[in-house]
Chain A
Amino acid sequence: MILRNLMMAASATALMATGASAETLRWARAGDSLTLDPHAQNEGPTSALAHQIMETLVMRDHSGALVPSLATEWAPSEENPNIWVFKLREGVTFHDGAEFDSEDVVFSLNRAMTPDSDYKELLASVKEVRAPDKYTVEIETDGPNPIMPNNLTNMFMMDKGWAEANNAVKVQDYEGGEDTFAAKNANGTGPYKLVSREPDVKTVLAANENYWGQGEFPLQVTEVIYTPIQNAATRVAALLSGEVDFIQDVPVQDLERVAGSDGLDVRTAPQNRVIFFGMNMGDADLANDNVDGKNPLSDVRVRQAMSKAINRDAIKQVVMRGQSAPAGMIAPPFVNGWDEGMDSSSSTDIEGAKALMAEAGYPDGFSIQLDCPNDRYVNDEAICQAAVGMLAQIGITVNLDAKPKAQHFPLINNLETDFYMLGWGVPTYDSEYIFNFLTHTKGEKYGSWNGTRYSNPDLDAKIVALASETNLPERDKQIAEIWQVVQDEQLYIPIHHQVLNWGMKSNVGTVVEPEDSPKIKYFTLN
């Protein structure tokens, strides 16, 4: 860690020596931030913009590693394993000059735990947040929580005094009918200050001269102009014509065009998002198939056969134009618990699949409906179309029903689909997050995205126990065991890990952040 910081500081000072004039970065992506209220929306573009203005206790750098931000060190308390102690950075000020201290942390975390907050689930285990002194914060949880810091990487800190003075103590809600001050204004500790903002049009940020990280980060960009450009063709055109310097989502069909243009680069990296199919294996009979009285998907051999029928390399080459990494498990490679062997375990084997189908009693296959979104993931509908052809090879006739995401996701949540596509990102970088939402039996608190109807009380108990297992090697062992069950049961059919493509002028220097959340303070310009 120390070495890393030193190296960063050294490279930063070297870079700072070269240019100090006003440097503007014009940044575009498909969607705008929905609100500046840091706790109202847990959504990609919203937190990506917030990261420039506000800060968290701990954060992820562009490699995905957990690094200090407003907290300099953190550890579980030696007396009580239920308490995490965070030491805060001293001498940090908000943009309006107010000092940042433990009062603000207590206020912000409590605000993030109110019912209108979108972040309350990540803090669900928190019992109390305390400030024993000005630069120390204690977070007490119900039982030990070994990965508490991982949950805080998007938990932004607000100034208590500012929120109280501007009537922004409450998180913005939809029924109030009032503009929350915090939805349109921001006062953070971050590297950039809000200059102006017109929602869906333009947001202008300027460098914060009093930023604590001066000298530690490149901070070469002194002005940021952020514009959402929804239409993909227009977005690419704006980059090609030089009207913007950096776009976050280059459509796969335009990659060569952008990469082949003078002065433009495409930077690519695996994204923290895996795409897969889920199947209804729990119901006695399916509504959307042609088999009466039983559920073919409840047979693990059928699920394995379906997985073997999918040719992931063909999807990569033909549908994704090379922009994907075939997957064998539903965890992205950055996540704790990811296993190289498991992730490369899926292979195409039509003969083997046919044999499994015959063994399961479906030598002639069956027909079923596949529900698929058409505006959520990269080429989502095309992936489903490819899967239809592949499954036909083992006799499964698939009726594809592709819909906008606003209609697709309710099918999963209301258990109205028997075969569906889903994508999953893991903000905590830990397998527990995947198990909680996708593997645990669906119920009030857990399994809210588990549309498989899979229910295994033993496994549920193991998943719940992960939350308080403080012996990390033991915890990793438990995680591996749960994954083994998920893999053996073929709970899901993994397809691939998505790849991110950032397009930018060649003079813009950055690596691609796996969560698609650029942090401009790391950008260099030369």
Chain B
Amino acid sequence: MFAYIVRRMFQSVIVLLVVGLVAFSMFRFVGDPIDNMLGQERTQADIDRLRTELGLDQPFPVQYFKFLKGAVQGDFGVSYRQGRPVSTILIERAPATLELAFVSGFLAITMGIALGVFTAIRRQGVAANVIMTVSLLGVSLPTFLIGILLIYVFSIELGVLPSFGRGETVMIGSWSTGFLTTSGLKALILPAITLGLYQMTLIMRLVRSEMLEVMRADYVRFARARGLSDRVINFRHALKNTLVPVITITGLQLGSIIAFAIITETVFQWPGVGLLFINAIQFVDIPVMAAYLMLISVMFVSINLIVDLLYYAIDPRLRVDARAT
């Protein structure tokens, strides 16, 4: 077990280094930050001076090494765009993204499972068919279009929900939360639906097909023959057994909810790390881009690590194999 964890940790570090290397080698194609940083009136001398000052004239292995040296000490440098330490900015922005991801993940899981069970049990019903058809839309429409549609209906036409921003937020320590105010909660609704819709339909379809499979299994038939109530069969026996693959998928999707919040955050002007990243790309804010990509890869790597360890804990066969080799 311990050797397995160490080996996996070692692999994770290599993955991170490679991600950083690829990201860094790509920054030179994003553009030149100097023009954005200096005003229209800059002279050639200013350009050269700033380039030297930022170390952008150095070969890229040197720049990458400098970044890594700072990053392992928790110092991601200073944002070219805002002139403030990147770590401060990330800490400021993280709560917005995490709260949004939490709410949309919660929506996706609860609604996805409930609707999945419903459509599996009543698979001939009109309602189930309507839900299945609508869910196809959810899978196939791009996020930004859904967001704009929701804004059009609920903000412009009905005027009930805000079209942008987080509403009023309350500071708890260094964490700004939108959960404690009415406007903060209202502001969460549309972005959370936009972000969670795809995951919700995915989970729903997964639960439905797993459920249909399980319902045909022998033990469900025996349970029925024994005269157990539908409720007990559906929820105690069938649903429980469908959840194993659902948990795997959900774990992996959690990472994408955070990483792909970029589009939703841009549409709703949601002040999270995704919007920060978009701004960073437009400005060629290399320190922010580098820190964001590293953080996202740390997140994916650790989620994968946890999922692997969970398998190890859940599935006895893996342990046996490990001992045998």
Contact = CB atoms under 8 A, between A and B. Distances in A.
Contacts of A199: 82, 84, 89
B35 A413 contact: yes
A238 B39 contact: no
A174 B278 contact: no
Given A121-B42, A443-B44, A448-B43, A183 B275 contact: no
Contact of A243 (B39, B42, B162): B162
B43 A406 contact: no
A174 B51 CA distance: 11
A238 B83 contact: no
A446 B38 CA distance: 16
Interface in A155-177: 172-177
Interface string A194-234: 00001111100000000000000000000000011111011
The size class of the interface chain B forms with chain A is 35 or more
Contact of B83 (A180, A200, A375, A442): A180
Given A175-B78, A200-B271, A406 B39 contact: no
B143 interface: no
A407 interface: yes
B54 A231 contact: no
Interface string B30-66: 1111111111111111110100011000000000000
B155 A237 contact: yes
Interface string B74-99: 01011011111100110010000000
A132 interface: no
A35 interface: yes
A40 B46 CA distance: 14
Interface string A331-351: 000000000000000000000
Given A40-B83, A177-B78, A179-B88, A445 B43 contact: yes
B165 A240 contact: no
A397 to B, nearest CB: 27
Contact of A238 (B31, B33, B163, B284): B163
Please indicate which of the listed interface residues A122, A183, A405 has the most CB atoms of chain B within 10 Å of its own CB.
A405
The size class of the interface chain A forms with chain B is 35 or more
A406 B279 contact: no
Contacts of B278: 230
B276 interface: yes
B278 to A, nearest CB: 7
Given A406-B35, A443-B44, A445-B43, A231 B82 contact: no
Contacts of A231: 266-267, 269
A42 B42 CA distance: 10
Interface in B184-233: none
A407 B162 contact: no
Contact of B36 (A183, A243, A406): A406
A234 B83 contact: no
A35 B83 contact: yes
Given A174-B83, A175-B54, A42 B39 contact: yes
Interface of B: 29-47, 49, 53-54, 75, 77-78, 80-85, 88-89, 92, 148, 151-152, 155-156, 159, 162-166, 266-269, 271, 275-276, 278-279, 282-284
Interface of A: 34-35, 37, 40-43, 115, 118-119, 121-122, 172-180, 183-184, 198-202, 227-231, 233-235, 237-238, 240-243, 375, 403-407, 409-410, 413, 425, 427, 437, 442-446, 448-449
Given A118-B42, A413-B35, 15 more contacts: A35-B82, A118-B41, A173-B53, A174-B83, A177-B78, A229-B269, A230-B275, A231-B266, A231-B267, A233-B148, A237-B151, A237-B152, A406-B284, A444-B43, A448-B47
